[in-house]
Structure formats: structure tokens, C-alpha cells
Amino acid sequence: MTAQNTAASKCMNCNTPISGNYCSHCGQKHIVGELTVGFFINTFIDALTNTDTRIFRTFKDLFIRPGHVAKLYASGKRKQYVNPLRLCFVIIGLYLAFLALTGGIATLNEYALHQQQAGISEFAKVWQEIYINHRILIYLGALPFAALVVRFSFYKSDYNYISTLIMLLYSSALYCLYGIVMVSVFKLFSLDYFSEYRRLVESAIGLTVFYQSAKVFYGWSWLKGLILVPWIFLSLFFSAYLAAFLITSAITLF
């Protein structure tokens, strides 16, 4: 730290008396004077060596050992991994941005016109528009309800509601990571993203991700996992459909 940096005795953010490089109250780095290029370079290096290390470790362990990250996080070993809710928001945001950039999201007007030609009810049109165009966000919002169903379904396990939700959040983040890969493959080979084949592939990826995650998380055998994991998958689908139904009801009524 330079002499200029040590000149001030109070934090410039919260005015707390400090001694050292960081404020003990708010955690801001103690820097006096104008910001320099060196400051931004050092901040960038710190981000790469500290925060991003957790991100890379979380991604690596999610791909290699699905369910293991959630198990460690729920057991108290949290510092080495990114918070599951934050990770899920970031990955879903990237997934939606990637879909938008690659043309993987149909516009509401085009889909509405198609449904009008199909001659379905107004409620069904609104419901399908919401579900098809915003299903990723709906799944995210449905996770707390799905976690409740899963928690009471496996009430004899050692994990409480929050631990169950953590497992579903990490599994959903991994599912979206594979989704980005899937969209890339479909785009690379000029395949129809809205085909039934894509839906089958998407469902297969989802079942595999949740199977591996729940199997490791709960310590199930492969046979027990094959029997119970479809229920977890169905719980998530049911919660998402219910959320879409409630949103549609609110829109059509008000």
C-alpha cells in the first residue's frame, strides 16, 4: 500500500476508522486518491484468481459429479462453490440470451397466430404462449414448489426442504448448461429447434441430469434411482404447469 493510501484513517465508503487494506465494517478496499489503470488491472486479476475460481470449480464438479456439489454444499462445505440460487439465475440468463441470439425463441405474435389458426380457446392460447415462450423462467419459479413435493415424498431422508431445493437448483443449472450445448449443436447442423426430436433430446437430458444428481445426493442405488427419479421430474413438470396455469388465470381474469 502506498503512502497516499495510508494517509486517510477512515473508510471512504462508510466512514469507519480503519487500519490496513480493507474496511472491517463494509469490506471495501482502502484506496485514497484517483483511480488508476493499475487498480482496474489488479481488480481484474483478483476476480480471476478468487471469484472465478469458484465458478470454474462449480462448473467442473457439476459436469463430472452431478449431485456431489449439492451434497457438499448442504453439508456445510459452501465456500468452494457458487451459491446455487445465484448460479441458477446466471446460467438461466445465459441460456435465455443464447436462445434469443440463435433464434431459438419463437415470438409471441407468431405463436399466437398459429394457435388462433388451430382454433383453441383463448385461455389455452394464453397458457401455451406463456409456457412455450417463458418455460425456463416458469421452471425456475416452480422449483420451490417442486422442492416441497420432493421433500415430503422422501421425508425419511436426512435432508430438509432447503437442502432439497439446493439439489434442484444445482440440477437445473446443469440442465441449462447442457441446454446451451444442445442449442449450439442444433444451430451448427441447421436442425429444427422446434421439432419433436429436440423435445425428446431435451427430455432425455433432463432425466439423465436429475437421475445422476438425485442418485448421488440421496445415495441411492442405480435401480432405486431409476424408480424414484421420474417422480422428481414429474414433480417439477407438475409445478411448472401449475405455475403457468395460475399466471394464465390472473392474466385472463384481470
Tens-place pLDDT, residues 19-52: 777 787 777 777 766 666 666 666 655 655 555 5
**How far is the C-alpha of 90 from the C-alpha of 86, rounded, in Å?**
6
H/E element holding 228? helix 222-253
Query: Out of 61-65, 75-79, 99-103, which region has the weakest mean confidence (pLDDT)?
Result: 99-103
Choice between 38 and 85, residue whose per-residue pLDDT is larger: 85
Tens-place pLDDT, residues 195-212: 778 778 888 988 999 999
Cell numbers placing 34? 484517483
**How far is the C-alpha of 238 from the C-alpha of 233, rounded, in Å?**
9
Q: Where are the domains of the chain?
A: 48-253
Half-sphere exposure of 94 (CA within 13 A, CB side): 15
**How far is the C-alpha of 175 from the C-alpha of 208, rounded, in Å?**
9
Tens-place pLDDT, residues 99-150: 777 665 554 445 544 555 555 677 777 766 766 667 777 888 889 999 999 9
Cell numbers placing 199? 423435445
Cell numbers placing 239? 409445478
Beta carbons within 8 Å of 138's beta carbon, 6+ residues apart: 130, 131, 240, 243, 244, 247
**DSSP of 85-119, one letter per residue?**
HHHHHHHHHHHHHHHHHHT-S--HHHHHHHHHHHT
* CA nearest neighbour of 10 among 26, 34, 30: 30
With cut-offs at 50, 70 and 90, classify the pLDDT of residue 224: very high
H/E element holding 66? none
